[in-house]
Structure 1
């Protein structure tokens, strides 16, 4: 379905954020760069070597647990975990986060049509808000209504979506959820939720 058809069919659009609107790797790698610079200053260790390890480790194992693996590899003190965690939450990025081109164009077309755009963010609200503030929205930020799923308590993706829709009187039949491919198995076809994998909009 072409984006124009989505605009014709739906009045409200709910988007996930990480690896949906932008590549989350762009955030992580900038944090790793700044952490490596900090360790070079604090421990006189080679920042280039540390950053190269973290990039390679991220490509192989992902972000989860990367501090522990880096600490073990370079024999770093556990005390630096606090610095790493603070950077993850509150970092001032050297470069703004850029939206995927296809998603940015789609968001712009929704905004121009005067339809509702919701962001549904999971994970640490402090870090997620920091990411939003350092994303290049190209003027789209004034059209966004943001929700943090942690504020809803422990509930399913489906329940989160219905909570957002309920707050704005949006009907499921008129709402499109654009999410990460991993959501496909979490959305029950009988729920009435219209789900679209974000990567189908990347072209």
Structure 2
């Protein structure tokens, strides 16, 4: 697949994190596994039953109520809600997170073409850093700079404006890739050239 149309005449590539660089479920399911092991140790609850339930809940209904539903199902004390949430920031995953193959190709091509690469992170910076540290970058880590919306009033527009100003770039010199959901929700200002990562997967 030719990536030239995305990178031609550009000086920088911006890409978001979850479901853009890698599949977010690969992170969540490993966190659920670690939590289930912790519950087996702390409360003697069957780890496999917990992780199977959490995985099923996530795949059916999303991540929002996973702990509450799991706690209700297995009579897990509320005090473990803190441990569960903390795991997202501190978990040491059993397996590295793998980039989407199409995204790996894009990033490698961007490096060859001497484009600067920026990761745009919306949400909890501590959790994002934990994810970024555990991605298998295939040697690309030295070419990346991360921008957090949390440092720009949690505004994507302000973050991109700050990035452009700090890096002496203009909008036309940048191409942006976002997740499918972000693309559908107009995550990025329409004046910027952005693509759903699904185009290259």
Give the Cα separation in 2 of the matches to 1:36 and 1:5: 45
Task: Tell me the TM-score normalized by structure 2.
Answer: 0.94
Deviation of the 1:2 alpha carbon:
3.3
Deviation of the 1:154 alpha carbon:
3.5
Deviation of the 1:24 alpha carbon:
0.7
* Residue matched to 2:180: 181
| CA distance 1:109–1:61, shift in 2 (3 Å) | same
* Residue matched to 1:103: 103
How many residues were matched structurally? Answer: 199
Give the Cα separation in 1 of the matches to 2:131 and 2:153: 21
Give the Cα separation in 2 of the matches to 1:118 and 1:106: 13
Deviation of the 1:188 alpha carbon:
4.5
Contact 2:122 2:154 in 1 (8 A): no
Deviation of the 1:65 alpha carbon:
2.0
Give the Cα separation in 1 of the matches to 2:131 and 2:29: 13
User: What is the alpha-carbon root mean square deviation over aligned residues?
Assistant: 1.4
Q: Secondary structure at the match of 1:111?
A: helix
Give the Cα separation in 2 of the matches to 1:147 and 1:101: 23
Give the Cα separation in 2 of the matches to 1:188 and 1:154: 14
Matched, 1:169 2:160: no
* Residue matched to 1:114: 114
* Residue matched to 1:129: 129
1:72-91 aligned within 5 A: 72-91=72-91
Give the Cα separation in 1 of the matches to 2:52 and 2:91: 20
Q: Secondary structure at the match of 1:9?
A: coil
Q: Secondary structure at the match of 1:131?
A: helix
Per-residue CA deviations over 1:128-180 (Å, capped at 9, x if unaligned) read 0011011100000000011111011142x333222211110111011111112
Structure 1: 4+ residue segments shifted above 6 A: none
Q: Secondary structure at the match of 2:39?
A: helix
Give the Cα separation in 1 of the matches to 2:42 and 2:189: 50
Q: Secondary structure at the match of 1:147?
A: strand
Deviation of the 1:87 alpha carbon:
1.1
